[in-house]
Amino acid sequence: MSVTPEIPMEGHVAPGFEPVRDAVLENFESRDELGAQVAVFRRGEPVVQLCAGWADRKKTTPVADDTLFSVYSCGKAMAALVIAHLVEEGRLSYDLRVAEIWPEFARFGKQDLSLAQVMSHQAGLSGITDPEFDPQHWVDFDRVVAVLEDQEPLFPPGSRSGYHPVTFGFLAGEIARRVDPAHRRLGLILRDDIAKGADVHIGLDPADHDRVAQTVKPRAPADLGEITDATRAAFLQPWSSPARISADAWREAEMAGSNCQASAAGIGAMMGAFVDGRVSGLALLSEPTRQALTRSRIHGPDAVLPFTIDFAAGVMINRDNGFFGPRPDTLGHPGWGGSTVFADPRTGLHGAYVMNRQQPYLAGDPRAVSVITAAFESIQ
């Protein structure tokens, strides 16, 4: 593929998928994009692999195919796959009460929460409420787990969803660690048992720091809608997210809900498991497990995000908002600032749009939506 005079772009576009390339270019020309990768697959076969723009703010280093991006909550889809893998192995079931494998979690009314409810943001633990919690503590996995064990839910558990931006990863991570025979952390299970070399990382190896694109923060805050106690805990307390730690320490930490580092090709390929249970041609999930992972668990106005959301067990279903293109049954997850992963079981399309200039969208960033929409239009 040729390189435009203004925007470096390399990669492959299968015949018929040229609208995806055009949408990427439009993001640079009209939506202030800095650097991005796009990967689109159809039932595991790559149809679009693009690298465009720059990995740094000064525009000195073009994005390459081995550039990693901080994709934030897109990692929740990867955490969901780890849990589904453990369900497939018979170590978990979605109807299991979490307290059966994690007795300390049963405090303050959390004793009846099922795995499916925790994975669909129904635990009422959208953020930390302890004012003594320090934002540096997020890199201490065991400390955060202990805080969540002792915390009263912010709304009645199981009554509704209330998005857990950071705490989700600790809940999923401790559940995975409790049932793994070697008590491995979730990121290691992902790397060793599922990803099989795909460039997706929850807990980055220090040797890979130099491959991570520089993230440029948004110029404006996100619109959080009505501020509830659950919203305040999730986003607005001084300790709601990690602070006063280095970027390296943040990337190396185990925060499966919020600090995934990935290439579009890596995480986009992993989304194939939501289509047919397979990743790069290898069977990961049986059809009953895939259906249990992807079916609706709770649907309605969220207690944290200003949206009506249909949650499966770790990903969102598209029917209310169009975050993942035009099809209502497409599954996916946004990442703070614009990165997005998606999978559509009916058409077989799955993939990722990852980028490094964040915009103030909690979900539905127009850059990602336009690219995903172009992919669907390419098969019509």
- pLDDT by residue (tens digit) across 314-333? 999 999 999 999 999 999 99
Tell whether the model's pLDDT for residue 311 goes beyond 70: yes
Number of structural domains the chain divides into: 1
Residue 138 predicted with pLDDT over 60:
yes
Residue 4's pLDDT is 52
Q: Closest by alpha carbon to 117, among 377, 312, 360, 267?
A: 312
Question: Does 174 reside within a domain?
Answer: yes
Structure tokens at 316: 């969102």
User: Which residues fall within 8 angstroms of residue 246, CB to CB, at 6 or more apart?
Assistant: none
Written as six digits, the tokens of 265 are 């090709």
**For residue 374, pLDDT beyond 50:** yes
Can you tell me the distance from the alpha carbon of 343 to that of 273, in angstroms, rounded to the nearest whole number? 9
Q: Indicate whether 341 belongs to any domain.
A: yes
Q: What does the pLDDT read at residue 6?
A: 84
- Asked if the structure places residue 314 within a domain, the reply is yes
Q: Looking at residue 208, which CATH number applies to its domain?
A: 3.40.710.10
Task: Give the domain range for residue 89.
Answer: 66-322+332-349
The closest of 90, 87, 73, 80 to 119, measured between CA atoms, is: 80
Within a domain: 377: no
Nearest-angstrom CA–CA distance, 197 and 329: 29
**Res. 3 pLDDT band, cuts 50 70 90:** very low
Asked whether the predicted pLDDT for residue 19 surpasses 70, the reply is yes
Q: Are strands 200-201 and 260-262 parallel, antiparallel or unpaired?
A: antiparallel
| End-to-end CA gap in the chain | 24
In this prediction, residues 355-369 reach a mean pLDDT of: 97
Is 179 a residue whose pLDDT tops 60?
Answer: yes
Q: How confident is the model at residue 106 (pLDDT cuts 50, 70, 90)?
A: very high
Residue 5: band (very low, low, confident or very high) from pLDDT cuts 50, 70, 90: low
The dihedral over CA atoms of 371, 302, 335, 209, expressed in degrees to the nearest 10, equals -170
Say what percent of the chain tops pLDDT 70. Answer: 99
Asked if pLDDT for residue 156 goes beyond 60, the answer is: yes
Mean local confidence (pLDDT), 288-294? 98
Does residue 29 lie within any of the structural domains? no
pLDDT higher than threshold 90 for residue 309:
yes
pLDDT higher than threshold 90 for residue 249: yes
Q: Does a structural domain hold residue 357?
A: no
pLDDT of residue 1: 45
Contact 281, 292 (CB under 8 A): no
User: How do residues 65-84 score in pLDDT, each as one tens digit?
Assistant: 999 999 999 999 999 999 99
In a domain, residue 107? The reply is yes
**What pLDDT, on a 0 to 100 scale, did the predictor assign at position 355?**
98
State residue 326's pLDDT score.
Answer: 97
| DSSP helix, strand, coil percent of the chain (3-state; round to 5) | 35, 20, 45
pLDDT digits (tens, 9 = 90+) for 221-240: 999 999 999 999 999 999 99
Pair 341, 332: CB distance under 8 Å: yes
Amino acid identity of residue 276, one-letter, is D
| pLDDT over threshold 80, residue 151 | yes
Residue 32 in this model has a pLDDT that exceeds 90? yes
Decide if 155 is inside a domain: yes
Whole-angstrom distance, CA of residue 366 vs CA of residue 349: 19
Q: Are 204 and 266 in contact (CB under 8 A)?
A: no
